[in-house]
Structure 1
Amino acid sequence: MHRQISNYLMDKISSGAWPPGMRLAPQRELCRQFGVNRSTVVTALGQLSALGLIEGRRGGGTRVAEVQAAADEAVSSPDPARTDLLPVPSAGSWNAYVEEGVHYPNLPTVQDINRLEYEQGLIRLGTGEPAPELLPGSAMTRVLAELSRQTLPPLSYEEPLGSPGLRSAVSRELAKNGIQADPDSILITSGALQGLQLIAVGLLPRGSTILLEKPSYLYSIHAFQSAGVKFSGLPMDEQGLQMDGLAREARRSKAAMLYSIPSFHNPTGVLMNAKRRQELMEVTGQLGLPILEDGAYQELWLDTPPPPPLKALDREGRVLHLGTLSKAASPGLRIGWIVGPEPVVRRLADIKMQTDYGASSLSQLAAARWLEGGYHEEHLQHLRARLRKRRDAVLDLLQRHFTGLAAWNVPAGGFYIWLSLDKPVPLRTLFRTAHKAGLLLNTGDLYDRGDNRHLRLSYVYASPAELELGLPLLAGLIRKLQQPGV
């Protein structure tokens, strides 16, 4: 077995798939990947080390050795097995490019989550997307069947702002929430995340600062930091972003923009009330401070509709509004939009054209039909009922297994429950321990670097049976980590 692993690793190195300087996965991860014990992995790595193909670095793990050094070592080796697979010496190293690109890598935990979400058998307790059984597969099949009978597929590029038909459909959908937006004020994006990236590189100068709630989803991605934009976090309470200190911090930091998720905030699930929204508009209006409103969860209310979006209160064109179909209808459709003043959306459209030349024409056609045909509203009614049932089931499980261990909010919509542990725990350790036990977590330090006592729980992905199994298991792991001396 160790020879098979050794040969597999050498093939990776010799083909260039693993370039010089690349860090190998930790031994425990290699054991998991290959399904073997540690001694087998150690033996395989020892063979590569003897050939000079890998090298250990203090504090830097095990990396692929520089090519020339590996070749010299292998030639002088008394048993240079597989020297036929050694790479040709090269003057450059891709590792330097990987580490020095202008776009920051994801946080290590986020990278782990992105990889582990596709691992079979894990119970995903923090995933921010609907479970496959909550997605409207049969309804979307009807949409596609209708389109196949009615029109030729659009195989060309769309306009820079996106399909006129989809923008008109989005305009009518926005009007239901009080947002009056002409189609020329709407830019179709490849999901709301692309909207954030376009705004980061297209509207904000390097070194500028944006205000945002803390914790915040933006801390878990690097769209703004990679563009040289800094964050200044503001505290929240159960009514949303606190107004005390907002004006003072905006002036101190010379903030260029404020980012907010007023409806069913990610990760806390908090709903900003109507009074707080009005105060926010008034304070930022006095400051002349633009707002970036993330409305990804606006329509996913469970009890009563939320207050109107900030964009619906905007009479000065200060609010950019992000929307998406990913949270309710289809993450894979990759359809989102930005609503704002026409010069702004044209600027962002120009950058988008330089990036990908527009969202998928086929996806835009399907999304337009989805909205125009009434499918979306019908699906939302069913989805809200099912999410309400799941939320209540999770709240019951928390009451049974986390009483005396943590506190939590009762979300009125969206996807998340913000679990606040009574005692802090090392969240990275909890993440690894939970993974070994078959659980995949979204820990609070992803959304606030200094956090050591929160978890983002999602009731939309794991099945009811998985939640019945996973949440009591999680409670036991937390109790164990909180014991003295652990």
Structure 2
Amino acid sequence: MMEKENRKLSKSSHLPLYQQVVVYIKNKIISGEWPIGSKLPTQREFAKLFGVNRSTVVTALEELKAEGLIEGKMGASTKVVNNTWTLLANTAPPDWNKFVKTGFYKPNQSIVQEINKAESDLNIIQLGKGELSSELFSVENLHTVMHRCINRIDSLGYEVPKGLLPLRQELSKYLSTIGITCSPDSILIVSGALQALQLISVGLLRQGSTILLEEPSYLYSLHIFQSAGMKFSSLSVDNQGLIPSDIATKKQRNQSIIYTIPSFHNPTGIVMSEKRRKDLLQVCEKENLPIIEDDVYRELWIDTAPPLPLKAKDRHGQVLYIGSFSKTLSPGLRVGWLVGPEPVINRLADIKMQIDYGSSSLSQWAVAEWLSSGLYAQHLRAVRGNLTIRLHTMLEALEKYLQGIATWNIPKGGFFIWVKILPAIPMQKLFETALDEGVLFYPGSIYSSACTQYLRLSYSYASLSDIKQGIYRISQIVKKLM
């Protein structure tokens, strides 16, 4: 409920520090931003927000309890129980907490919510973010693209359900370079890969369906399919990717579908081998299982491009292929795509129109220009060169500071290094302490309950100096916890 914001208190104020905290919290309650039933941030979060010690926060909370605005017991959460006007009112206000709890969409894991808040803190070394650093985005190219767009655009009205035709035409050409034959009619423009997954969950699958997927997997950190009443069934993975022999035994009698990230898998970084891709397609054809191929990282290779997508070998319309410009260009554009059989694309396009009436026209025109001008291909070459430097920097830091107390993979592309901490230390404590000391990483447990000793480190976002400093701080915390 509390964003990461700068709320440092004034030592020159006539009010003591604890009273300034009281005023802040009271204003939140009185204004209705924190309605009755709301759970307050922890003492640790308050102390960090205001830049004070916990005793100051405790004094403020005790005063608010005495006024009857909040209540809470030692070791339990503190909640808003009244506000100044409801103390005088004859009728109780609506209990928004009940509404919040009854929504069908499941909330993020609490640790994922904490990560999402910390990602906006400019004072934290970001070793978790799955996006490119702003240093890798060419403002000069953006100016060029937008200038050309202005000369082409005669309207910014709603687009057709499947998305801007010039963009789908350019995507059709681009996809042909990686072996995928598809017409613009079989492409749906979406607001990022996440929207593609959500559309699939509500538009193609029924409640009780089973999603077969690698474990660990990025999908475990989300609740897109679970919120739609579906369940997961894990498939084993080795250094060549998903193991197809598990599929026949894991397939359920109810509707099933496979989800896979074959190129630079998130979080492990594994690239599915060409033979394994062939085997996977054969098994799925035999079992009559459709596949969701999430291929958002494939262009982020270091030395060698990954094998062609599963979709390139799909001869029966079995694969739904997801791509995005969020990882390769900019997440702020909110432009991705989904390729599939036309009846599927038509169905999901209709649902998308009901949800948002189409993705941003301006972003679609911009991406179409990036593709047609050749600037996107040029940009990808620059990105790969920069990612190579960042990867080597992180690997050197890991060797220097974590050698002997951790093991890790050496990815051939993507954003992530999958690290296993060898000592049996409390990983939640490692996460919290690192965050307190200004370093954010993603715990492996959000991708699989079996990966409690792992962390996912990203080398794509932080500066080179921050990468080194972040790894050093993590190593010092690990040694203290051993």
Q: Structure 2 length normalisation: TM-score?
A: 0.94
Cα offset for 1:35?
Answer: 1.4
Cα offset for 1:309?
Answer: 0.2
Cα offset for 1:299?
Answer: 1.2
* SS of aligned partner of 1:378: helix
Q: Which amino acid aligns with 1:107?
A: Q
Cα offset for 1:120?
Answer: 2.4
CA RMSD, Structure 1 to Structure 2 (Å): 1.6
Q: 1:55 aligns with which of 67, 71, 78?
A: 71
Residues 132-211 of structure 1: pairs in structure 2 closer than 5 A? 132-148=134-150, 150-152=151-153, 154-211=155-212
Query: Percent identity at matched positions?
Result: 48
In 2: Cα distance, 1:358 partner to 1:158 partner: 6
Q: Find out whether 1:478 has 2:478 as its counterpart.
A: yes
Cα offset for 1:110?
Answer: 1.2
Residues 359-378 of structure 1: pairs in structure 2 closer than 5 A? 359-378=359-378
Q: 1:64 aligns with which of 76, 80, 93?
A: 80
Cα offset for 1:137?
Answer: 2.2
Q: Find out whether 1:463 has 2:463 as its counterpart.
A: yes
- Structure 1 residues 17, 293: CA separation in 2 closer, same or farther (over 3 Å shift)? same
1:105-140: CA deviations, max 9, x gaps?
111111111111111221111210011101232211
1:448-481: CA deviations, max 9, x gaps?
1232111111111111111121112211212222
**Alignment size in residue pairs:** 466
In 1: Cα distance, 2:120 partner to 2:480 partner: 28
Q: Find out whether 1:422 has 2:422 as its counterpart.
A: yes
* SS of aligned partner of 2:251: helix
Q: Find out whether 1:114 has 2:116 as its counterpart.
A: yes
Give the equivalent residue in structure 1 for 2:13.
none
Give the equivalent residue in structure 2 for 1:23.
39
In 1: Cα distance, 2:172 partner to 2:76 partner: 52
* SS of aligned partner of 2:56: helix
In 2: Cα distance, 1:264 partner to 1:465 partner: 25
Q: 1:101 aligns with which of 85, 100, 103?
A: 103
In 2, are the aligned partners of 1:154 and 1:362 still within 8 Å (CA)? no
Give the equivalent residue in structure 2 for 1:347.
347
In 1: Cα distance, 2:479 partner to 2:176 partner: 48
* SS of aligned partner of 1:17: coil
Cα offset for 1:425?
Answer: 3.0
In 2: Cα distance, 1:192 partner to 1:25 partner: 32
Cα offset for 1:71?
Answer: 4.4
- Structure 1 residues 429, 293: CA separation in 2 closer, same or farther (over 3 Å shift)? same
In 2: Cα distance, 1:193 partner to 1:449 partner: 22
In 2, are the aligned partners of 1:136 and 1:329 still within 8 Å (CA)? no
Q: Structure 1 length normalisation: TM-score?
A: 0.93
Q: Find out whether 1:239 has 2:240 as its counterpart.
A: yes
In 2, are the aligned partners of 1:424 and 1:452 still within 8 Å (CA)? no
* SS of aligned partner of 2:120: coil
Cα offset for 1:98?
Answer: 1.1
Give the equivalent residue in structure 1 for 2:405.
405
Cα offset for 1:153?
Answer: 5.0
In 1: Cα distance, 2:154 partner to 2:396 partner: 48
Q: Which amino acid aligns with 1:208?
A: S
1:272-312: CA deviations, max 9, x gaps?
00000000000011000000000100111111111000000
In 2, are the aligned partners of 1:410 and 1:417 still within 8 Å (CA)? yes
Give the equivalent residue in structure 1 for 2:132.
130
Give the equivalent residue in structure 1 for 2:390.
390
Q: Which amino acid aligns with 2:123?
A: G
Cα offset for 1:247?
Answer: 1.3
Q: Which amino acid aligns with 2:477?
A: L
In 2: Cα distance, 1:319 partner to 1:480 partner: 48
In 2: Cα distance, 1:41 partner to 1:473 partner: 27
In 1, are the aligned partners of 2:158 and 2:361 still within 8 Å (CA)? yes
In 2, are the aligned partners of 1:425 and 1:452 still within 8 Å (CA)? no
In 2, are the aligned partners of 1:214 and 1:448 still within 8 Å (CA)? yes
Q: Which amino acid aligns with 2:148?
A: E
In 2, are the aligned partners of 1:317 and 1:340 still within 8 Å (CA)? yes
* SS of aligned partner of 2:245: coil
Give the equivalent residue in structure 1 for 2:30.
14
In 2, are the aligned partners of 1:160 and 1:358 still within 8 Å (CA)? yes
Cα offset for 1:91?
Answer: 4.1
* SS of aligned partner of 2:55: helix
In 2, are the aligned partners of 1:408 and 1:420 still within 8 Å (CA)? yes
Give the equivalent residue in structure 1 for 2:432.
432
Cα offset for 1:60?
Answer: 4.7
In 1, are the aligned partners of 2:39 and 2:77 still within 8 Å (CA)? yes
In 2: Cα distance, 1:243 partner to 1:423 partner: 33
Mean alpha-carbon deviation: is it higher for 469-478 or for 210-219?
A: 469-478
In 2: Cα distance, 1:415 partner to 1:255 partner: 33
- Structure 1 residues 88, 118: CA separation in 2 closer, same or farther (over 3 Å shift)? farther
- Structure 1 residues 44, 315: CA separation in 2 closer, same or farther (over 3 Å shift)? same
- Structure 1 residues 114, 99: CA separation in 2 closer, same or farther (over 3 Å shift)? same
In 1, are the aligned partners of 2:86 and 2:92 still within 8 Å (CA)? no
1:53-75: CA deviations, max 9, x gaps?
1111576500010569x844xx7
* SS of aligned partner of 2:456: strand
Cα offset for 1:7?
Answer: 1.7
After TM superposition, where is structure 1 displaced by more than 4 Å over at least 4 residues in a row? 57-60
In 2, are the aligned partners of 1:23 and 1:64 still within 8 Å (CA)? yes
- Structure 1 residues 424, 182: CA separation in 2 closer, same or farther (over 3 Å shift)? farther
In 1, are the aligned partners of 2:206 and 2:255 still within 8 Å (CA)? no
In 1, are the aligned partners of 2:208 and 2:254 still within 8 Å (CA)? no
Mean alpha-carbon deviation: is it higher for 213-222 or for 120-129?
A: 120-129
Give the equivalent residue in structure 1 for 2:262.
262
Unaligned 5+ runs, structure 1: 76-86
Q: Which amino acid aligns with 2:27?
A: D
Q: Which amino acid aligns with 1:101?
A: G
In 1, are the aligned partners of 2:211 and 2:257 still within 8 Å (CA)? yes
* SS of aligned partner of 1:257: strand
